[in-house]
Amino acid sequence: MGILVQKYGGSSLASAERIRAVAERVIASHRADQPIVVVVSAMGDTTDDLIKLAQQLADEPDDRELDLLLSTGETISCTLLAMTLRHMGHDAISLTGAQAGIKTDTSYSRARIVSVDPSRIQRELAAGRIVVVAGFQGINEDFDITTLGRGGSDTTAVALAAILKSDLCEIYTDVDGVYTADPRIEPRARKLTEISYEEMLELAHYGARVMHSRAVELGSVYGVPIVVRSSFNQNPGTLIHGGMSMEVRNKVRGIAHDTDVAKITVLGVPDRPGIASSLFQPLAEANINVDVIVQNTSIHGVTDLSFTVSRTDVNRAMRIVEPIAREIQAADVVSASDLAKVSIVGTGMQHAPGYAARMFKALSDRQINIEMITTSEIRITCLIDAARVADAVQGLHEAFRLDQADL
Ligand code: ADP
Ligand code: ASP
Ligand code: MG
């Protein structure tokens, strides 16, 4: 039998009791013929607490130092789980990301995995041990510790499942699976039994934090089936995979929302070739992800250009954009952080008209103003006032009958 990879999120490991419960679950899944690798997140809110602590001492903590600090959260939980398993009579060993062979690039706080050397894990598994790996972290070419971005333990788990050629990667969390919308925002959201990689990727990328988007991307590229399920009960979860039937493909499958949005507007930009490139090239070089871009038609040769970035990047982005705006003789640069994205996702949308109109009507019925719009073949996203996000999710859930459809 192949190797099983399980990942447990922060709320699943929030206390000594929870760690004991996770250890019992790991032992129950560890059959003699199936080696097991367990990836863990930091306990409870540890990562948030460490960030707050750092910010009390430095406004913008140095990113190398911050990554080393944040990696300690996962190091704590992996050692505690391994100790618990050993105490329960099972041979187990904890490994940091570096010990598990996870090499990344050098971009702190959002590092990408460049390679995984599975030899240490394989050696420990061959010795009959349960291997517990600290998620969310790796090591770069300078032997410095990096982290993979918030929610990145999912990506550690799927990367290990891919390199170890696992039959399955199980993501254990605090909800029963992937729902039609965040069940904390829309109580009528329904659990999906299955979802395609491409739909899950769009949902995750546009805010459904139940899965880290890069984990879904890796799952898709390496064909790793992923099951998302609860560590608090035995209910079956949601299978994320490639082999969806035609029938279920033909619908809006879910709604994502994201409040981690900041908008930057460059006002009075001269409308001539090269301007967009002079703004966006330096942002790309600084590794700042620009999402929605809107440029108004120019009146008298000047225009306004707006784009969105993550709230964590807005200060850095402003520091890059302001001098360029002066150089190109734009009138001003302003930023706003009171916006949110709400998206509908479904492969069925790519050949059927009318979804955008239904989405805009649902929002206008609730008097929600749309600031910007962006689409992919299987997604429509609207930027709205952050204060209206719950209303928007609920309105769209109702408009697309996601509480009723047999998904
Ligand atoms: P973990 O610590 O286990 O990684 P996360 O907090 O990262 O857990 O992800 C689980 C949370 O994702 C849920 O508690 C839920 O509020 C949120 N979530 C957002 N969108 C969805 C969705 N479509 N389906 C299920 N959960 C969602
Ligand atoms: N502990 C990290 C975070 O809170 C990584 C993770 O949980 O996946 O973002
Ligand atoms: Mg998570």
Report the pLDDT value the prediction gives residue 300, as an integer from 0 to 100.
81
* Ligand in nearest proximity to the CA of 14: 1
Token look-up 């880290």 returns: 212
How far is C-alpha 40 from the chain's CA centre?
A: 16
Confidence of residue 273 (pLDDT cuts 50, 70, 90): confident
Report the pLDDT value the prediction gives residue 249, as an integer from 0 to 100.
52
The domain 4-174 is placed in CATH, from the list 3.40.190.10, 3.40.1160.10, 1.10.10.10, 3.90.850.10, at: 3.40.1160.10
Mean pLDDT of the region 123-150: 97
Confidence of residue 91 (pLDDT cuts 50, 70, 90): very high
Report the pLDDT value the prediction gives residue 31, as an integer from 0 to 100.
76
In this structure, what token pair is assigned to residue 182? 């965040």
Q: Which residues, 6+ apart, have CB-to-CB distance to 125 below 8 Å?
A: 3, 35, 37, 131
Report the pLDDT value the prediction gives residue 246, as an integer from 0 to 100.
54
Ligand 2 centroid to 301 CA: how many Å? 47
- The Cα 388–Cα 395 span in angstroms is 11
DSSP assignment string, 9-29: -GGGGSSHHHHHHHHHHHHHH
405 pLDDT more than 70: no
Q: Which residues have C-beta atoms less than 6 Å from ligand 2?
A: 9-10, 41-42, 47, 73, 135-136, 150-153
Instruction: Look at 99-103, 163-167, 286-290 and tell me which has the smallest mean pLDDT.
Output: 286-290
CB 192 within 8 A of CB 179: yes
Could you give the count of Cα atoms lying within 13 Å of 251 in the half-sphere of its Cβ?
A: 21
Q: Which of 15, 39, 209, 342 to probe ligand 1 with, by most ligand atoms within 8 A of CB?
A: 209
407 pLDDT more than 90: no
From 37, 10, 1, select the one nearest 169 (Cα to Cα).
37
Tens of pLDDT, residue by residue over 343-393, are 999 998 887 789 999 999 999 999 999 999 999 999 999 999 999 999 999
Report the pLDDT value the prediction gives residue 23, as an integer from 0 to 100.
98
In this structure, what token pair is assigned to residue 231? 């560590």
3-class SS at 248? Answer: helix
Confidence of residue 33 (pLDDT cuts 50, 70, 90): confident
Mean pLDDT of the region 59-64: 93
Ligand 2 centroid to 42 CA: how many Å? 6
- The Cα 22–Cα 404 span in angstroms is 34
Confidence of residue 275 (pLDDT cuts 50, 70, 90): confident
From 163, 118, 35, select the one nearest 26 (Cα to Cα).
35
- Quote the mean pLDDT of the chain: 94
* Ligand in nearest proximity to the CA of 148: 2
CB 179 within 8 A of CB 256: no
From 50, 123, 106, 46, select the one nearest 80 (Cα to Cα).
46
The angle that helices 314-327 and 275-285 make with each other, rounded to 10 degrees, is 150
* Ligand in nearest proximity to the CA of 47: 2
48 pLDDT more than 80: yes
pTM score over 0.85: yes
**Strands across the sheet with 113-116, in order?**
113-116, 102-104, 137-139, 145-147
Report the pLDDT value the prediction gives residue 296, as an integer from 0 to 100.
78
The residue whose C-alpha atom lies closest to atom 11 belonging to ligand 1 is 210
Residue type, 96: T
Pairing of strands 113-116, 92-95: unpaired
- The Cα 48–Cα 248 span in angstroms is 38
| Strands of 271-360, DSSP E | 293-295, 302-309, 332-345
**Strands across the sheet with 36-40, in order?**
92-95, 130-134, 36-40, 4-8, 168-173, 226-230, 238-241, 194-196
Tens of pLDDT, residue by residue over 220-234, are 999 999 999 999 999
From 42, 36, 129, select the one nearest 77 (Cα to Cα).
42
Tens of pLDDT, residue by residue over 232-271, are 999 999 999 997 665 555 589 999 999 999 999 999 998 8
Confidence of residue 406 (pLDDT cuts 50, 70, 90): low
74 pLDDT more than 70: yes
Shortest-distance atom of ligand 1 to CA 154: 4
CA torsion sign for 84, 87, 93, 94 is positive
Percent of the chain whose pLDDT exceeds 70: 97
Pocket lining: 179 vs ligand 1, CB cutoff 6 Å = yes
Tens of pLDDT, residue by residue over 285-333, are 998 999 989 887 777 888 999 999 999 899 999 999 999 999 999 999 9
Percent of the chain whose pLDDT exceeds 90: 87
3-class SS at 63? Answer: helix
- The Cα 164–Cα 328 span in angstroms is 51
Burial letters 347-380, b for 16+ CB under 10 A, else e? bbbeeeeebeeebeebbeeeebeebbebeeebbb
Report the pLDDT value the prediction gives residue 247, as an integer from 0 to 100.
54
